[in-house]
Amino acid sequence: MCYSFKKEEITMKKYNAERIRQLRNKLGLSQPQFAKTYGIPIGSLRNWEQGRSVPGGTSATLFFLIEKIPNQIADTLKSRKLKR
């Protein structure tokens, strides 16, 4: 399956503490579960959710993809871990 996203669509998204927390809650995951599922350091996730820092670059792109296609991202990351 192929997905196409416009660059502007990705770069225009702002991922603040509330938006990240809402995304995680929408998926029904705890912080440790979300971090493990999507390969995010738990400390970074906590800092983002508490507003201490804001994800940028690659992290913001990952959040964009998790919002759009969460199951596919989780499956892809899981299969990559199994191959190692």
- What's residue 52's pLDDT? 96
d(CA 57, CA 67): 16
The full set of domain ranges for the chain reads 8-83
Per-residue pLDDT of the chain (84 residues; tens, 9 = 90+): 666 666 655 554 689 999 999 999 999 999 999 999 999 999 999 999 999 999 988 999 899 999 999 999 999 999 876 665
Q: Which CATH number fits domain 8-83: 3.40.630.30, 1.20.1250.20, 3.40.50.620, 1.10.260.40?
A: 1.10.260.40
8 Å CB contact between 61 and 10: yes
CA distances (Å), origin 45, targets 6, 17, 60, 79, 83: 26, 9, 12, 22, 25
Quick one: pLDDT at residue 82?
Answer: 61
pLDDT of residue 57: 86
Measured distance CA(25)–CA(11) in Å, rounded = 23
Predicted confidence at residue 79, as pLDDT, reads 87
